[in-house]
């Protein structure tokens, strides 16, 4: 009851209601919210604190930036969604805030596109060496199709593409990466696809900020060959899997392209089936048969593993992908 009253009090003010409505449409920084509301940063920060204390917003830090989004779990999150749903779509203040928000999103998208364009040649060079990415993505989709997953985690999410293609099968998707630039691209892509149940966070893949047994589906797509300690990445991911949880890992089979170390920062030149399977077994996971996608000169492997146990079915409807 106390939390509910705090939430109602927090939402019951003009500026805070505007902030709540804005944060329901994406992750925004204090600076961006200040621009939209046309108020001082200290004032906006005070309003945001009250909304967070009331459980209506979630605050998280990404380096020197602090982002805010609508809370997504608990009774206060339900209250936040209900309040936002009651805001008239033709309200003049709502329309003005929406117009300013779209300008900020356009600026973000332009910056992300510039970074992507400047690095596209490097990424396309790697893609040209193996099977089309659509074939790899289809293996991921086939591995989860028909399933119902509460929480999914994509480690080293990059552009957020794996989050996008698996969005129809999860209630909540999280992507983590250590690159601010890649997170900006991922946010733009997820917003463009209308996937509000998917979001990204700055995080180190060796020390993930999630509780044990808290994730139902974990994906690691073309990340291990950059890792100094790939076995440790698998171990950290396995720590998070709930009973009945599933892990899908895609990377290269062993190859001899030494120049990828110097030119593309690859630490490992692929992995054998036995090596990856041994990491799964060491962390209590049961391996499925790997999928081999022959390429020239690089072959992509997709490994699957499960945590023993019965996965609990989710009791909330899956989101529809707008992609």
CA distance 187 to 160: 8
CA distance 97 to 320: 26
Judgement on whether residues 16 and 158 belong to the same structural domain of the protein: no
pLDDT along the chain (323 residues), means of 10: 73 91 89 94 93 90 81 84 90 93 85 69 76 94 91 95 96 93 90 93 93 97 91 96 96 92 85 94 95 94 94 54 35
- E-strand ranges in 125-240 read 149-155, 170-177, 198-202, 215-221
Judgement on whether residues 146 and 287 belong to the same structural domain of the protein: yes
Judgement on whether residues 184 and 38 belong to the same structural domain of the protein: no
Q: Backbone dihedral region of 181: left (phi > 0), alpha (psi from -120 to 50 degrees) or beta?
A: alpha
Q: Residue 115 has what pLDDT?
A: 59
Q: Residue 121 has what pLDDT?
A: 65
Q: Residue 319 has what pLDDT?
A: 45
Judgement on whether residues 25 and 136 belong to the same structural domain of the protein: no
- E-strand ranges in the chain read 28-29, 57-62, 65-70, 149-155, 170-177, 198-202, 215-221, 241-252, 286-287, 291-293, 300-306
Judgement on whether residues 156 and 205 belong to the same structural domain of the protein: yes
Structure tokens at 129: 């060496």
The residue among 129, 131, 181, 173 whose CA lies nearest residue 155 is 173
Q: Residue 156 has what pLDDT?
A: 94
Judgement on whether residues 45 and 172 belong to the same structural domain of the protein: no
Which residues lie below 8 Å from residue 290, measured CB to CB, with a gap of 6+?
Answer: 273, 276, 301, 302, 303, 304
Domain C-terminal end among 99, 121, 146: 99
Q: Residue 312 has what pLDDT?
A: 67
Q: Considering the domain boundaries, does residue 87 fall inside one?
A: yes
Q: Residue 322 has what pLDDT?
A: 35
At 126 the three-state DSSP class reads: helix
159 C-beta neighbours (distance < 10 Å), count: 19
Q: Considering the domain boundaries, does residue 316 fall inside one?
A: no
Q: Residue 263 has what pLDDT?
A: 81
Q: Residue 97 has what pLDDT?
A: 93
Domain count, the chain: 2
Judgement on whether residues 69 and 158 belong to the same structural domain of the protein: no
Structure tokens at 206: 């060796």
323 neighbors 193 (Cβ within 8 angstroms): yes
Domain of 61, CATH number, reads: 1.10.10.10
Judgement on whether residues 154 and 20 belong to the same structural domain of the protein: no
159 neighbors 177 (Cβ within 8 angstroms): no
Domain C-terminal end among 61, 82, 99: 99
The residue among 69, 90, 92, 89 whose CA lies nearest residue 20 is 69
Q: In which domain, by residue range, is 63 found?
A: 2-99
Q: Considering the domain boundaries, does residue 323 fall inside one?
A: no
Cα–Cα distance list, 193 to 167, 173, 289 (Å)? 10, 14, 32
Crossing angle between the packed helical segments 2-11 and 41-53, to the nearest 10 degrees:
150
Cα–Cα distance list, 150 to 31, 35, 187, 204, 293 (Å)? 32, 35, 20, 22, 29
Pairing of strands 198-202, 170-177: parallel
């Amino acid at each position: 009851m106390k939390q509910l009253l705090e939430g109602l009090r927090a939402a019951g003010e003009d500026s805070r209601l505007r902030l709540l409505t804005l944060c329901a449409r994406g992750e925004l920084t204090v600076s961006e919210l200040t621009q939209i509301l046309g108020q001082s940063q200290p004032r906006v920060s005070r309003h945001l604190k009250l909304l967070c204390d009331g459980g209506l917003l979630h605050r998280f830090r990404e380096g020197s930036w602090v982002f805010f989004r609508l809370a997504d779990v608990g009774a206060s999150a339900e209250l936040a969604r209900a309040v936002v749903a009651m805001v008239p779509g033709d309200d003049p203040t709502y329309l003005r805030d929406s117009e300013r928000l779209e300008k900020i999103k356009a600026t973000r998208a332009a910056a992300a596109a510039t970074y992507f364009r400047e690095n596209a040649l490097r990424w396309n060079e790697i893609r040209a060496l193996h099977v089309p990415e659509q074939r790899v993505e289809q293996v991921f989709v086939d591995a989860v199709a028909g399933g119902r997953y509460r929480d999914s985690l994509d480690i080293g999410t990059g552009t957020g593409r794996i989050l996008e293609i698996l969005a129809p099968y999860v209630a909540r998707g999280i992507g983590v990466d250590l690159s601010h630039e890649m997170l900006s691209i991922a946010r733009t892509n997820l917003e463009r696809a209308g996937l509000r149940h998917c979001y990204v966070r700055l995080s180190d893949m060796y020390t993930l900020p999630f509780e044990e047994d808290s994730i139902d589906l974990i994906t690691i797509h073309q990340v291990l060959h950059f890792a100094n300690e790939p076995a440790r990445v698998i171990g950290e991911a396995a720590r998070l899997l709930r009973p009945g949880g599933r892990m899908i890992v895609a990377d290269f089979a062993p190859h001899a392209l030494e120049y990828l170390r110097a030119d593309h920062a690859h630490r490992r030149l692929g992995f054998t089936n036995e090596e990856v399977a041994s990491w799964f077994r060491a962390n209590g996971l049961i391996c499925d048969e790997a999928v081999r996608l022959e390429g020239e000169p690089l072959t992509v492997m997709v490994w699957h593993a499960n945590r023993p146990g019965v996965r609990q079915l989710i009791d909330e409807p899956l989101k529809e992908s707008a992609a």
